[in-house]
Amino acid sequence: MPELLAPAGGMAQLKAALRFGADAVYGALPAFGLRAFAGNFSWEELAQALRITHGLGKKFYLTLNILPYEEEFPALIRAARQAVDMGVDAALVSDLGAFLALRREAPELKLHISTQANTLNSEAAAFYASHGAERVVLARELSLRRIRELREKLPDQLELEAFVHGAMCMSYSGRCMLSDHLTGRGGNRGACAQPCRWEYALVEKKRPGECWPIEEDQRGTYLLSAYDLNMLSHLPELIGAGVSSLKIEGRMKTEYYVATVVGAYRRALDALAKSEDAYRSLLPELEKELLKASHRPFNTGFYFGPPTPMAGAAGFTQEMEYVARIESWQDGQATLHIKNRFYVGDTLELLSPAGVFPVKVEGITRADTGEQVNTVSVAGQQVIIPLPVPAENGDFLRGPNRNHQG
């Protein structure tokens, strides 16, 4: 089976990814990655993340895929050398100069070529391989047919990675100047403001200030907002095309999102390892599972030709919301760290690596005072509830999203 690679925007997401079945995670330092507003990892946190990841026999890939200016190379090289010394398993780079400089200045560091390098053909991939790249993250614009053809022309030792799930960008494999132009925040510098997700209207040159909506649907006009990628039901085709690492997007996402999506793909891959029939029989349940985390409408990207539709996806939706994280469980009692409101009498779901289990809330006790309460709504508060299903630290409780309109 291929590697399942998950996003780790911070320590909580890293722990969720590993607990729910990721084989590897990718994350960033405060500098040099392309998600400046994720939690990211300080050097001290990176050391802890590596201890946790390697202790489980899994891998941590460091994103160094910013497009650097000349004056940033010394700091980039110092960071790469320190990452090697700490035991990072590989680093992602997108800039050709950064790739060549790191091969020369930090030769022990394994390098993966980021999707921002827009690798679309075997000549480009073979160039990176000949200069020591271990893996190429393919451009998102490739179809499965083209991936198969590319794989056949490349050396076996060069790994191919492709995205399977998460947000897609309207620009070419993430190379976009829209945020820079409208907000001064550079997408290729890790600070994208996501203006492609904004609602737009039409203005005629001789009528300044008069805006006409470009009707799309009752929710608004989102001409540039791409749909989310979902390839859960096409894993055999991806594997058959020669993809050796399946990448989930989402370093800005919550730990609950990471747990939900990684858990669904882990269960799918494990079922597929048994048989395709086992995988196909589980798919309907797992596809419903993906609807319980925040998402825009799904499609399959470019894998089967140009995506239809390409854009028009409005804001996020999700059928369930994250209400609490399990901190401990003993003798049928669970201590919870609260995220969102729930009530005595609610039917929640326990999300764990073993699966999803219904839970009726029979009572709520405040951990600090011992007071019995009917509801709890203060984020960060600790409460205790009866929980007959065994649970562990890092499992989640979720409930119906009362704002969801399905």
70 lies in some domain: yes
Give a yes or no: residue 72 inside a domain: yes
Output the pTM of the full model.
Answer: 0.87
98's tokens: 């950064």
On whether both 232 and 334 belong to a single domain, the answer is no
Which value, in Å, is the radius of gyration of the alpha carbons in the chain? 22
Domain boundary among 187, 213, 239: 213
| 232 and 338 both lie in a single domain | no
Q: How many CB atoms lie within 10 A of CB 155?
A: 9
Q: Based on the domain organization, do 263 and 200 belong to the same domain? A: no
30 and 156 assigned to the same domain: yes
In what helix (H) or strand (E) does residue 80 lie, and over which residues does it extend? helix 73-86
Whether 199 is covered by a domain: the verdict is yes
25 within 8 A of 57, measured Cβ to Cβ: no
Query: Which residues have C-beta within 8 Å of that of residue 304, sequence separation ≥ 6?
Result: 143, 144
Q: Evaluate whether 103 touches 112 at the Cβ level (below 8 Å).
A: no
| Beta strands 135-137 and 228-230, pairing class | unpaired
> pLDDT tens digits for 276-330?
999 999 999 999 999 999 888 889 999 998 877 666 556 668 889 999 999 999 9
Distance of alpha carbon 116 from alpha carbon 97, whole angstroms: 14
Identify the pLDDT of residue 37.
54
Instruction: Look at residue 345 and tell me if it is in a domain.
Output: yes
- What residues of the chain score a pLDDT lower than 50? none
Q: Is residue 305 part of a domain?
A: no
Which of 238, 270, 299 is where one domain is finished?
A: 299
Statement to judge: residues 39 and 81 lie in one domain? yes
Per DSSP, which regions of 71-140 are E strands?
Answer: 90-93, 111-113, 135-137
Which domain CATH number covers 89? 3.20.20.70
Residues 200 and 159 in one domain: no
How many structural domains is the chain composed of? 3
Instruction: Quote the DSSP letter at residue 150.
Output: H
Residue 112 lies in a domain: yes
Are 226 and 295 in contact by the 8 Å Cβ rule? The answer is no
Domain assignment present for 306:
no
- Do 27 and 71 belong together in one domain? yes
Shared domain for 239 and 330, answered yes or no, is no
Q: What's the CATH number where 359 sits? A: 2.40.30.10
Tens digit of pLDDT for each residue in 112-147?
999 989 999 999 999 999 999 999 999 998 999 999
Residue 368 lies in a domain: yes
Q: Let me know whether 236 and 371 are in one domain.
A: no
**Whether residue 153 is found in the same domain as residue 192:** no
- What is the domain extent for residue 326? 320-400
Residues 290 and 353 in one domain: no
Answer yes or no: do 106 and 152 share one domain: yes
Residues 6+ apart with CB under 8 A from 364: 344, 372, 373, 374, 375, 376, 383, 384, 385
